[in-house]
Amino acid sequence: MLVKHMFKTGVLLGLFAIVGTALIAFTFDNTAERIAAEEREFLLRSIQALIPASAYDNDLYSDTVSVVSPALLGSHAPIPVYRARKDGKPVALVMEPVAPDGYSGAIKLLVAIAYDGTVLGVRVLSNQETPGLGDNIEIEKSNWITSFNGHSLSNLDAKEWHVKKDGGMFDQFTGATITPRAVVKAVHNSLKYFSEHRDALFAPTATKTEAPPHD
């Protein structure tokens, strides 16, 4: 009797596990494509906010390379780089570096750098920073992130590429220093990577297989 009851209960539990898994699998299956499309759309709109559509004439979304640099770009995964060109000449590029040392995990960024090495703009793609404190790095919440615009390795020296608390020139937030510190460092590192690998980063798509050196 007891064994029969245990068996019945076990089967029931298993059935509910299947139902639960099926619900998630079904939802995932029906939304995955849409989510990918929405994310791509969102990325394209973000890029257009950084580089005006009139500045380039190539298909930016397919003119890409991916690079790996855990030291400077913050991730062991390949980082996509989108290149903007006009009349075949390089104009700017957009990459997705990661600030690995945010207050609550990695912060994914979108950094646009002009061919001459100036920052065109930075946006936050995703973060888990504290709502109300660290999330002021998002453009929707404050325009702190625009303070990078126009800066480069040549118009600010290495010491100035820090938050004010560390002797640099970028503001921190009240109650949140770690988040802006991580973002400033990531943008600075992206510029370093850019200046070291600029020609390789802009190499035509034909040589896509020979991606810039991985370090």
Partner 1 sequence: MTDNEYGTIIRNGLWHNNPALVQILGLCPLLAVSSTVINALGLGIATTLTLVLTNLTVSLIRNQVTSEIRIPVFVMLIAAIVTAIELAMNAYFHELYLILGIFIPLIVTNCNILARAEAFASKNAPLPSTLDGLFMGIGFTAVLVALGAMREVLGKGTLFSQAQLMFGDGAKWMTVTVFGDYHGFLLAILPPGAFIGLGLLIALKNVIDARRKALPAPTSARYAAHTHA
Among 2, 140, 199, 209, binds partner 1 (CB under 8 A): 140
Among 49, 106, 133, 139, binds partner 1 (CB under 8 A): 133
Q: Is 17 in the site for partner 1 (CB under 8 A)?
A: yes
The answer to whether residue 38 forms part of the interface with partner 1 (CB under 8 A) is: yes
Q: How far is the CB of 50 from partner 1 (least distance, A)?
A: 17
Of 27 and 205, which has the nearer Cβ to partner 1? 27
Q: Least distance in Å: CB of 183 to partner 1?
A: 17
> Does residue 88 contact residue 96 with C-beta atoms inside 8 Å?
no
- Both tokens of 22, joined, read 């099926």
Give Cα 91 distance to the centre of its chain. 20
Residues 56-95 that bind partner 1 (CB under 8 A): none
Q: Which is nearer to partner 1, 63 or 135 (CB)?
A: 135
The residue among 62, 54, 49, 66 whose CA lies nearest residue 146 is: 49
Hey, how many other C-beta atoms are within 10 angstroms of the C-beta on 77? Answer: 12
Size of the site for partner 1 (CB under 8 A): 28
Using the rule CB under 8 A, which residue among 16, 57, 204, 210 binds partner 1?
A: 16
- Burial of 49 from C-beta contacts in 10 A (0-12 / 13-18 / 19+): middle
90, 64, 88, 92: which is closest to 78 by C-alpha? 64
Q: Which whole-number Å values give the CA distances from 55 to 23, 92, 112, 113, 151, in the listed order?
A: 46, 9, 13, 13, 19
Closest CB to partner 1 among residues 81, 109: 109
Measured CA to CA, the distance from residue 119 to residue 127 in angstroms comes to: 21
Binding segment for partner 1 (CB under 8 A), chosen from 34-42, 146-154, 164-172, 190-198, is 34-42
Nearer to partner 1, 133 or 203 (CB): 133
Tokens for 165?
């608390």
Residues 163-202 that bind partner 1 (CB under 8 A): 174-175
Q: Return residues touching partner 1 (CB under 8 A).
A: 8-9, 12-13, 16-17, 19-21, 23-24, 27-28, 30-31, 34-35, 38-39, 42, 128, 131-133, 140-141, 174-175
